[in-house]
Structures are given as C-alpha cells and as structure tokens.
Amino acid sequence: MKPSKEFQETIKNHLDKRAAEDTLFAETLNKEKKSIEECCNYVMKCAQDGGCAGYSDDEVYRWAVHYYDEDDIKNITPVGGKVVINKSIELTDEEKASARQKAFDVLVEESKADAKKELSENIELTAEDIADAKKIAMEKVVASEREKILSKTPKKKAEPVTEEVTDLFS
C-alpha cells in the first residue's frame, strides 16, 4: 500500500526542517537513490516490525532520518497499515474565549435539561393540580388573545353630540 500524501508531506516537512538546521543532514537528504515514498515505506515497516499500535512522533522521525543516513536501506516494499497524523492547531485568544463561552453555554443547557428531567421524574401531580394548571393556562391564552384583538381593533372616535334646542314658549 502506497503511503498517503499527508503522511509523506508530514515526514518531508520534518526532514526539510531538520535539513535547514543541519547542513550535514541536508546533504544526506539529497541522496539520489533515496525517496520520500520509500522513506515512508521504511517507517511503516519499522512500525509494523515493532508490533505496537502507536509510536511517538520522535520515534517515527528517527526512523525517517535513519533511512536517509544508511545507504544499505533500499528497495523497501510497501506494507499495509493505517497512519494517523497528529496535527496541532494554535488558536488565537479570541478563538479560545469563544470556544470557552460555547462550552459554558452547552454546559448550562445540559444542566438545565438534567434538572428539568430530574424534577419531572420526582414530582407527582394530582388530578386537581393538573386541572388547576390547565385552567390557569387557558386563562392566560384567553387574556393574550383578547389583548391581540383589542390592539388590532381601531378605536372609534367619539362624534360630537349636537343638541337641538326647541323653544316651546315662542
């Protein structure tokens, strides 16, 4: 199985960084008969031969450097396996604060849900309590609807009252 592109890039990035810091290793890294794909095959073979389920980054990188250091390591055939690449992401202070706030909000909502569930499981209502609750709810709905209707109905303006006065003595 051919090593994944991500695995090859991760190993190559580490080796390039080391070569930038160590001129002697930079020469070793540029050997003509060595390739990043075969290096990754060698790393995977070392991991398979080791028999463990996982290895530290340092161990993996040492195997990669060893592959380039030793001229007699060649013709490594691909081996099957799965590689998990650890990537660390640096968050800004703003992103950290936002993540903390979101986590806090989720915690509050979960706590509310748990408390509501616990209360509903522990409280027993009588038929009278349920009837009273229904009556109160109905009264609130009626009052709310009444308010809506009254707020929509235009108020009539009072028309002036004109009185006709008849003089009976004239």
* pLDDT tens digits along 96-120: 999 999 998 999 999 988 888 877 7
Average pLDDT over residues 80-94: 80
pLDDT at 102: 92
Residue (of 9, 31, 29, 5) closest to 19 by Cα position: 29
The answer to whether 9 touches 40, Cβ cutoff 8 Å, is: no
pLDDT in tens, 31-45: 988 999 999 999 999
Q: Is the pLDDT of residue 125 over 60?
A: yes
**What token pair was written down for 25?**
């290793």
pLDDT at 167: 58
9-13, 30-34, 55-59, 166-170: which has the minimum mean pLDDT? 166-170
